[in-house]
Structure 1
Amino acid sequence: MGAEESEIAIKRSYGQYCGLARALDVVGNRWSLLIVRELLIGPARYGKLQAGLPGISTNLLAERLRELEQSGVVRRQLDTDSNGIAYSLTPWGMELRDAVAALVNWSTPLMVAGPRGDSFQPHWLVVALESLMDGKRTAEPATIGFEVDGMTLTVRVDETGPHVALEVDGQPETVLRAEPMVVLGLASGMLTAEQAIAAGDLRGESHYLAAIFGP
């Protein structure tokens, strides 16, 4: 039996009456929180989930989804575009957003070294940017786009905070094309707006970038 097969076959529990231990019993298995990351962006069909989780086998993904569904974190719903099945987070599962955001923010020193050969998909930036930019507010709404590896993400910040989405129907007037390290560095505060502009390619008005990421 291979390591991955063993991982599927054995359901582990810490056996501790502790909130952290019981939470890890549910979402502490390998891949579980990354499945949550994908579903924080929105409901997804099985194939889309697997494409967003490079390295996971179809058997292990099915097992993790089953575990999360049985625990009440994930539910199935009708995908109106295809009349097939999509997976989404339950309201309780959505409460993991803050825990995921805390881990993303905690990871900042680990991300400084760059990808180092690790895989990367631009849509992962949706959760990362919302996490790193949590707390940012602007009196006047400001919208910019980040183009990374051919995909554009729209970031809108207003008095309620940041809102990040994959752009489908066009691009904002101001778009910064840059490497993921630059975008993450800007969002985390490790790079200034001027440094990010110098490291990327800005199309549009720089004052929108400064309004969001300025001091």
Structure 2
Amino acid sequence: MSPRRSYDQYCSAARALDLVGDRWTLLIVRELLAGPRRYTDLHADLPGVSTDVLASRLKDMERDGLTTRRRLPPPGAAFVYELTGRGRELLPVIQALGAWGAAELGERRPTDAVRAHWFALPLLRALEGEGLVEVGLEEGEFHLRLGAQEGPVYGDGPAPVEADARLVMDAATCEAVAREQLSLTDAVRGGRVTVTGESTLTKTLREN
């Protein structure tokens, strides 16, 4: 395990960057906000990271108290990584960074990888209230846990139980909402987002 590098500055921002300033660390946090993940799943959803760098970052994050590693019970019997409470506190940091970086997205480049669940956290910023929301895009599906105080805030794939609301939209609409060029309310009103379900959350999304 590599020794932790430090800016050696008595500043909270510098201390924070001592822990999460290395390349890939915050993107690993982004993935683990979906809940426990196996190493192979993390590697698949972090295109461009080498196996050595990913392993090193995970060890550093475990040492620094941001993640833990545990073995799943049989028949899984695989190791998974998950955020600690301290690691989960990075959610608003990731949210703020995503909001700040929205202006930098521009047009999708030919070399840009994309995963449907990468839109989860930007959409989470656009939704209020509590409940389970399932989202369908051309690239795939993911679900959001609005108002979750602990545990995963989103997940890849369909919701594990019946969702309170389901949103269906095309990639262009989702990108516009993620880049804050279009509000979710206006997208629903304009017919660019289809909302289904019978919950209070669904009615709120339709009537706002």
**Does the 8 Å contact 1:78/1:86 carry over to 2?**
yes
Name 2:16's counterpart in structure 1: 23
Q: Does residue 178 of structure 1 match 2:167?
A: no
State the distance in 1 between where 2:24 and 2:69 align: 18
Name 2:109's counterpart in structure 1: 116
State the distance in 1 between where 2:87 and 2:135 align: 28
Map 1:46-125 onto structure 2 (within 5 A).
Answer: 46-80=39-73, 82-111=76-105, 113-117=106-110, 118-125=112-119
Gaps of 5+ in 2: none
State the distance in 1 between where 2:51 and 2:30 align: 18
State the distance in 2 between where 1:164 and 1:24 align: 25
What is the letter of the counterpart of residue 92 of structure 1?
R
Q: Secondary structure at the match of 1:67?
A: helix
Q: Deviations over 1:169-197 (max 9, x none)?
A: 58867542311x42142366522555568
Q: Deviations over 1:52-104 (max 9, x none)?
A: 10000101101111111111111111223511211011111111111111111
**Does the 8 Å contact 1:146/1:178 carry over to 2?**
no
Gaps of 5+ in 1: 1-7
- Cα RMSD between the aligned structures? 3.5
Residue of 138, 142, 159 corresponding to 1:149: 138
State the distance in 1 between where 2:4 and 2:206 align: 45
Q: TM-score, normalised by structure 1?
A: 0.74
State the distance in 1 between where 2:174 and 2:115 align: 13
Q: 1:199 to 1:47 in 2, by over 3 A?
A: farther
| % same residue | 30
Q: Secondary structure at the match of 1:49?
A: helix
**Does the 8 Å contact 2:68/2:84 carry over to 1?**
yes
Number of aligned residue pairs: 197
**Does the 8 Å contact 1:45/1:79 carry over to 2?**
no
Q: TM-score, normalised by structure 2?
A: 0.76
State the distance in 2 between where 1:100 and 1:186 align: 17
Q: 1:100 to 1:197 in 2, by over 3 A?
A: same
Higher relative contact order (CA 8 A, sep 6+): 2
State the distance in 1 between where 2:203 and 2:176 align: 14
